[in-house]
Chain A
């Protein structure tokens, strides 16, 4: 168990000393997860809102599909995205394989069903009297949408957090689509996998702790936002 304690101290040393390799992995992780969570929120929240708000034929089927996609294995997404982005694939001409945008595409596919499903759940749980209350104040369609979204912000935020957690901690997509290239596409999780393979448990634990610190920072920020609102 000494390697856990050693890892803790090593994490502290790596962060304080400004270890460039560690900070490069942190920067790549934040950048790529930022891209993917941004895209998935942009697409997922309106889609999830419509899925939860409106009644239409086929709604249950779509809902079941989205719920199923939440359980997509990351290596399978990695495999599919790899197949599309490889030189022989249909999107090979864009040269996205082993790049950050390539990883972001895969991670967006991973996060999107989570954002959609949890946004739809938040909207479905919205008090049905809210629509009447907002409309009776004279809201337009756009204002009704924005106000309803704001009213279920906590549920949507919980979905965004869950998706961000999933994206930050995945290995399969980053490894297969990014290639774990040092200084370039190496994320914290792929670095942990590499260091553990090399037998450097302490370094792996250290990077894991860094990941936990980032997650803590995100949650503290969100909690602060919730209290303010």
Chain B
């Protein structure tokens, strides 16, 4: 069995008194693509900073290729590179920004390598090398920042929302360049992104970070509070289209509920007393490469629900985005986090 490139043991991180991350155990296999999803403030960027050895965890250990590492560790600092969420370029020309890491490594043929890396992200070295840092658009700056990482041929590339603030063309080039690193350099990619369809398409595994903890794969439906008493008896909330979402009594008014849908179809009928049936619209179908499954996102009022489709349904031409369907979940299977 291949030994993991990363192993995180009892990792905890806090900013002051506020705990932001707690991961009991996590391994990442070499040359894999791992996606990180979750709401803002869920701990994705913190996890990437810890794995990128930018910050030291408050507690716990990070093993890289089996050896404990921390910021500035010689065994890892030339092998891991992090592309932060907001592109940051040093006050130098594009060439000097891209060649910076190569110079730290005492590399040769720097001009050729820089030119190749810029081309990889869709920038012409002749046009861009001499440009100062301030003469770039947001998308170009992000691509230059990515080129500065790719040129180092890292063993691990950590990407924090790489396409969050760029145009469609730049996002496409960034995704292609990242996948090139995985394909040609066997680079392990760990990507935090809100671009779920892309992550589900390319990732070998997906981690859902919620409140600093790994929680499932992101396919779960999480509905946030506040909750109120409906009819003075049952708990739940009234959706914007008038339907009522019922839940068991919550541990707190602001608690988040995890709802696993049990079935979806044209003619779902109320069954047992514990069943709740809602009506919604299929808003998106997405394909998960690893499992070959198709998932549907269903919109009921202003809430989005997710369900894995059985093969008979995803093969049916009658199941398409825009179609109104009814779906069901069981009250006694609602979990609170």
Contacts and interface: CB of A to CB of B under 8 A. Distances in A.
A213 interface: no
B104 A132 contact: no
Given A136-B52, A138-B77, 16 more contacts: A132-B82, A132-B88, A133-B88, A133-B90, A133-B145, A135-B52, A135-B54, A135-B71, A135-B77, A136-B54, A138-B78, A138-B104, A139-B104, A140-B72, A147-B90, A151-B91
A130 interface: yes
B208 interface: no
Interface in A34-58: none
B101 A130 contact: no
Interface in A123-160: 127, 129-141, 143, 147, 151
A141 B71 CA distance: 9
Nearest to B91: A151
B93 to A, nearest CB: 10
Interface string A80-93: 00000000000000
29 contacts: A129-B84, A129-B86, A130-B88, A131-B54, A132-B49, A132-B54, A132-B84, A132-B88, A133-B84, A133-B89, A133-B145, A134-B90, A135-B52, A135-B77, A136-B54, A136-B81, A137-B81, A137-B100, A137-B148, A138-B77, A138-B81, A138-B101, A138-B104, A138-B152, A140-B77, A140-B104, A141-B72, A143-B104, A147-B100
A137 B54 contact: no
A154 to B, nearest CB: 8
Interface residues of B, number: 26
Nearest 4 pairs between A and B by C-beta?
A: A137-B101, A129-B88, A136-B82, A138-B77
B311 interface: no
Interface string B101-122: 1001100000000000000000
**Which residue of B83, B91, B105, B149 has the most chain A CB atoms within 10 A of its CB atom?**
B91
A127 B72 CA distance: 20
Interface in A86-134: 127, 129-134
Contacts of B84: 129, 132-133, 136
Q: Label chain B's interface by main secondary structure.
A: loop
Interface in A7-38: none
A127 B133 CA distance: 14
**Which residue of B53, B54, B83, B105 has the most chain A CB atoms within 10 A of its CB atom?**
B54
B53 A135 contact: yes
Interface in B245-292: none
Given A127-B88, A143-B104, A147-B90, A136 B149 contact: yes
Contacts of A141: 72
A101 to B, nearest CB: 38
Contacts of A134: 90, 100
Contacts of B54: 131-132, 135-136
A130 B152 CA distance: 18
Nearest to A129: B88
**Which residue of A131, A138, A139, A141 has the most chain B CB atoms within 10 A of its CB atom?**
A138
Interface string B53-78: 11000000000000000011000011
A91 B158 CA distance: 58
Contact of A138 (B49, B89, B91, B105): B105
A142 B72 CA distance: 10
A207 to B, nearest CB: 39
Nearest to B89: A133
Nearest to A148: B90
A220 B72 CA distance: 40
Contacts of B83: 136
